[in-house]
Amino acid sequence: MSLKSQVESLLFVSLKPLSLKELAAAMKAPAKELGEALDELIADYAQGNRGLAIIKNNGQYQLTTAADNAALVQEFLKDETSGELSQPSLEALTIIAYRGPIAKLELERVRGVNCSLIIRNLLLRGLIEERFDKSKNENYYTVTHDFVRFLGLGSIDELPDYLKLNSAESLNTVLAATEDKN
């Protein structure tokens, strides 16, 4: 594939702006040619009535949405994070509330489906937080202080029936099965 195509892929997956030097290193390409490919790509985006644009700032490049669509995007993102939770998200949040800290794999075991997107969505809304456990080499999830306060509680163990439900037999069984498999 051409340099232009390659650099477009990298800018798309990168979450931070990249310098010409970083891009050239990743692509093992000469900086000069790469710079030309970038200029061409920027021109393509500018001409083509596109929804994306490349911002060049302090010698760093970043792919972003076109400025003209900013209002639409802003509203879309706001709606995405402000509505009521979907049933699966609510279920995941409930499990994290009563059973946190809980690992992603454990949560998935309880729900029977992959939960990557749901976790990300709950994180984005500030309802849960992620903590990396070095000894287990895994991320663990708990509800945030903001969320506990939103529920009108002093701490999460003030949820109804917390003590009993936190150690519910069926959950223990399912999670014990998780440990076996690993």
Helix axes 104-111, 87-99, angle to 10 degrees: 120
Q: Which two tokens stand for residue 161?
A: 């029936």
Q: Select 120 or 157, whichever has its Cβ closest to a second copy.
A: 120
Bridge partners (DSSP) of residue 138 are: 133
Binding span for other proteins by CB under 8 A among 23-31, 35-43, 80-88, 133-141:
80-88
Q: Which of 62, 108, 139, 175 binds a second copy (CB under 8 A)?
A: 108
Segment (H or E) for 150:
helix 145-150
Closest to 143 measured CA to CA, from 166, 109, 161, 164: 166
Q: Which of 14, 62, 94, 166 binds a second copy (CB under 8 A)?
A: 14
For the chain, the C-alpha Rg in angstroms (whole number) is: 22
Bond into 30 cis (ω within 30): no
Q: Which of 127, 129, 140, 142 binds other proteins (CB under 8 A)?
A: 127
Binding footprint of other proteins on the chain (CB under 8 A): 9, 12-16, 53, 55, 62, 64-68, 70-71, 73-74, 77-79, 81-85, 87-88, 90-91, 93-95, 97-98, 109-114, 116-117, 120, 123-127, 144, 146-153, 158-161, 165, 168, 170-171, 173-174, 177
